[in-house]
Amino acid sequence: MIDSISYNCSERLLFTSGHPNGCCAVWIPLFFTAAGLVLTAANYGCNLAAISNGKSVELTGAICSINVGSIECEEKSFRTGNIGLFSFQDVNTQACIPYSAVNLSDPYITSALVFSGLRWLFGIISFFWLLLSMCCPIRSIHKKVILFLTFFATVFQSLFFLFYGNEICKENGCYIGVGGFVAIGGNVAFLLAFASVLCITPLTPSWENHENEQVIRQVPTADSGDYEVSKAAVTGVVLGEEEPQKRV
């Protein structure tokens, strides 16, 4: 019963094992959610995919500068062997160049950007929800919400790999780079967070327990009352059948 346990958040917060749902009930999914967020943050470099066989491709774009009363544009080409979500790596300078410099627009890269944002949204909400649950009981509705959040964080992290269907990889062939393996680790972390939330046993609110107790107490009382009434009725019938006494 939740009412029988008094939890002071200043005493039970974070570093105690006295959580009402059990030791480590919230710590484990919180850890995996944080790990998923950290690992997905590493996806924003320019090494998600590498061109096969050590080859490089040429990307051409125009760099414009605004001068007084005029705009000057200079066509420039880059060679790259590694590409990322927002940028590609220049072979000569090893710097990450944004795709806007070459006017590259690819629906698969755009889709990966959208799913990356949704992954972050659900992952961050999951993390803070679990963090706030450190000193409070997790009930059935809370568990369902956390399951919903961690499930969709896992789904959107998986859909992020649509990135590898981009035109550069289709035409030249790609293999997973360092950032791609980190992204796989983030996907596994979110999946483990979802699985660990499944293992949490939710607690029943105290008012529901009180209502159940009242129902249980009322049932035998009603039965015994019906029994007494029926017994009295039968007794009255039997008494009515007694023979009248004869007058002397």
Which 3 state secondary structure label does DSSP give 73?
Answer: strand
Q: Which of 104-108, 128-132, 149-153, 237-241 has the lowest mean pLDDT?
A: 237-241
Question: Which two three-digit tokens encode residue 103?
Answer: 């006017």
| pLDDT tens column, 187-204 | 999 999 999 998 888 777
Domain parsing of the chain, residue ranges: 19-202
Angle between helices 107-132 and 27-41 (to 10 degrees): 150
CATH code for 19-202? Answer: 1.20.140.150
| pLDDT tens column, 83-139 | 988 888 888 888 888 888 887 888 999 999 999 999 999 999 999 988 888 777 788
- Please say if the pLDDT value at position 231 is more than 70: no
Q: Is residue 186 within 8 Å of residue 40, measured between CB atoms?
A: yes
Neighbours of 43 (CB within 10 A): 22
- In the DSSP assignment, the letter for residue 185 is H
